[in-house]
Each structure stands twice: as structure tokens, then as C-alpha cells.
Amino acid sequence: MRFMSALCAMAIIGTGLGAQVPTTVRDSVARAKAKADSIAAADSIAIVRELERMQGAKPDTTRGPVTGPQGSTNPRLLPDFSAVGDFVADLSPQGSTQADSSRIGVREVELAVQAAVDPYFRGDVFLGISDLEGISIEQAFLTTTALPNEFELKIGRFLMPIGKQNTTHRHDLHTVEYPYIIQRFFAPDGYKGTGFWLSRVIAPLGFFQEIQVTAVNRLADRDRSLQTGDPVNRKLSGLGYSARLRNYWDLNESTNLEVSGTALTGIREEPIAAPVGPVNALNARQNTFGADLTFRWRPLQQGLYKSFILQAELMRQSTQAVSATVPGPICRQLCAGSPIPPTTVASSGSHYTGGYAFARYQITTRGFLGGRYDQLQDPLFGGSTTRAASVELEFFPSEFSKMTAAYERYIPPAGIERINRILLQATFALGPHKPHPF
């Protein structure tokens, strides 16, 4: 049967060649040949070679993935759709420690739509759906693909390049939750900014370096319970600005080291002791500086079975002390025109330092044992020290699903109850194969 198909194709092509038919006809013959089962073609390699020789056709190798020589696998130009489910069960003996107090919950379902927009841009949209927050735009950005001089620009909302772990989706972390410095200094589900991200790879010293700078709408998410006289970003100096320098070295073929530094500045609302009318916060500049280190070991030949990661981050976040005179008009509105003089108010400023160290060792083909230690001057407790130590056991049935069991000893400042947390997590991914995180 296979031989007959190939013979027919040869006969058709032979006829076509003999009649000096136009190229388009030869192309259609080539397509007809290509529709034949490629296994059959491989069974008759000599015939395939002969066919190609007769056609004089050279394959176009510059297009994207195809199923053999048939052509595009996406003729309707549909974008990639994918979904990630993230389930968390909180079995902590002293009660649930989840934001919504659930014992077993769908922490988030993330839907992603990704595709090239045109020859100049790629588009990525990630929507987060959760019982707690409803539907939210996790990330949505346009990425240039054709800027000269190796620049890349993102426009939209993205996970900010602040430290190492903040750029990783929460469900892709090796731990159930972000480190506490990210949760307490920025947001429990990572710091996202809306604006511009410009980056460029450089290598003036012979090793990989990348500079990433951003300008975003504001510093951190807005706390809607805080009201200032002016929006934090009324002036352009009030936007959030960040810069990050990544440095990467291969120590040998199995080990590598990444050391990076981050700086972030912007203005955010700082509460004042006594509200004046509706004003209960002042605009204060906040600066954050951080450094992170990641060491990886993965022997190439045994890379399926052995690997180790050691990672640490340190951050210091400083908020200026500010004072301001709250003008009379605010009071006149509230006091029905009574002449109350302007009031001077102040926020005290703060300096918080924190960090974590994380290690993860591969114990089997699909199993990993990890641990993390966090310590920080906790903004939640006025700068008193919070510590946490956790161990995580990860199991990957495949590249597309993950089960995690975690125990954490959470030690807040003195006088606050210490907690044992037991968390189970299951995540799965549907859709196209995504690049492996590195």
C-alpha cells in the first residue's frame, strides 16, 4: 500500500515534469506527496529521495514547527491558551492561616493567552481567578521582538524584576508561598507593576549580565484605606522606578552562580497617627535595595536524577519620615466653614531589613526536598522580628503536575502566638508545553 502510494506520487510528478507544468502544479504535487504518512515515506527513503530530486524542492526551514512537510499546525493563527490550577489545603492545627480562612481551597486559577501580535510584538495575558479576589489581571504585557541593539521593551503589567523570586509565578515556586520579605514588603502574591520594562543583555566582562529597568504607575498596590492629600504619582517623580543588574557565571558545566542587585524607589502612602479629616496618610518616598544569590548544581549526565539549588535574598526597605501641613480647605469642607487653622502632621518613617535562605535537593527522579528560613523586621508588627522555618517535599508526577507537602514553624515577635503550619498544595498545567523554569 505504502509502495503503491509512493509509486502513484512518482507517476503524478513524472507526468507533471514531462509536461513542463507550472511551479504551482509541482507545488500541489509536493503537497499531495506530503500528505502521505511520513512513516510510510521513511519506509521508502530511497523513493522519498528520488521524489525530492525530481522536484528539485528545498524545504523552507525558517518557519515554525510543522508536522513534517505538511505546513502550519496553526492555520487559523490561534494564540496559545493555557490554564494553571493551584489548590491549597491548610491543615494547621491552630486553624487555617489562609487569607480567606479556608481549610481547602482553590487559591487561584490562572488563564493565559499568549501569541505573537505582529512582526514587532508578542502579547501575553494572564488572568487570575480566585474566590478571594474574583477575576484580576495578573499580568498583561506587550513585548517588543524587533528592537535594535538587543533592547527589549515590555509595556503593561508584569511581575516586577525585584529580587529573584518575585519574577516567578507563585504556582511555579518551589515553596507554597513567596518568602516573607516579598509578602510583607510588597504583596502576598508578588509585586506587580504597570508600566514599562526595558532590558538589555550585556557582556563587557565576558560573562552574562543583564540590566533591567522599569518605570511603573506607582510603588506597590494601593491600600485603599489610606487617603492622602495628593495622589502618590501626581508628579512623575512619584512613579515607581526600579533597576536590576543580573550577573551569571558558569563555574563548570554542572554548577553556576547568579548574583544580582536591585534598587527600587517610589512614593507610597504612609499612615499618620491622627487623621485630619479624610486625610490619614502622607506621601513618603520609599527605597528598597536588595541582593540575591543563586547557586545551582546539576550534573549534565545525571541531570534527570540529581540537582541542588541554594538561594538567598536580602532586602532593606526604608521609608522617609515626612511631615506636612494639611491645608485648611480640607477642614473647611468638613467643618462647614469654621476657620480652623492648618494642621501639621507627620509619619515616622521606617527601616526594615529581611531575607531568606532556601535550599532544594533532588532526592529521586520526581521528588525534591527543600527548606527555607526567613527572618525579617516585620512591617506588620512595627519592625519587630518575625522568623519562619519550613520544609517542603515536592513530587512531580510529570512536568505538568506537582504535589507539595510543607511544614512551617512560624515565629512572630514576642507576645504573639507561635504557629505550626501544615500546607498541602496541588498544581497542574493545561495547554502548550512551557519552557522549564531556570
Give the interface with other proteins as residue ranges (CB under 8 A).
Answer: 37-39, 41-43, 45, 48-49, 58-69, 73, 118-120, 144-152, 201, 203, 207-208, 210, 246, 248-250, 253, 256, 258, 296, 298, 300-305, 365-366, 398-400, 433, 435-436, 438
Q: Closer to other proteins by CB, 161 or 355: give it.
A: 161
- Report in angstroms how near the CB of residue 160 gets to other proteins at its nearest: 18
Grid coordinates of 121: 510584538
- Report in angstroms how near the CB of residue 192 gets to other proteins at its nearest: 20
- Residue 421's identity, in one-letter code, is R
Cβ(397)–Cβ(366) under 8 Å?
A: yes
SS3 category, 4: helix
- Report in angstroms how near the CB of residue 191 gets to other proteins at its nearest: 22
- Report in angstroms how near the CB of residue 56 gets to other proteins at its nearest: 12
Grid coordinates of 136: 484580576
d(CA 272, CA 290): 27
- Report in angstroms how near the CB of residue 358 gets to other proteins at its nearest: 18
- Report in angstroms how near the CB of residue 44 gets to other proteins at its nearest: 9
SS3 category, 327: coil
Q: Closer to other proteins by CB, 246 or 360: give it.
A: 246
Q: Closer to other proteins by CB, 299 or 342: give it.
A: 299
Q: Closer to other proteins by CB, 139 or 386: give it.
A: 139
d(CA 83, CA 115): 15
Burial class, 333, CB count within 10 angstroms (exposed 0-12 / middle 13-18 / buried 19+) = exposed
Q: Closer to other proteins by CB, 60 or 417: give it.
A: 60
Among the residues of 36-78, which ranges form H helices? Answer: 38-43, 45-55
Q: Closer to other proteins by CB, 381 or 396: give it.
A: 396
Q: Count other Cβ atoms within 10 Å, centred on residue 104.
A: 12
- Report in angstroms how near the CB of residue 298 gets to other proteins at its nearest: 7
Q: Widest CA span of the chain, in angstroms?
A: 103
CA dihedral (318, 172, 250, 432) positive or negative: negative
Cβ(269)–Cβ(226) under 8 Å?
A: yes
d(CA 157, CA 147): 20
Q: Closer to other proteins by CB, 208 or 373: give it.
A: 208
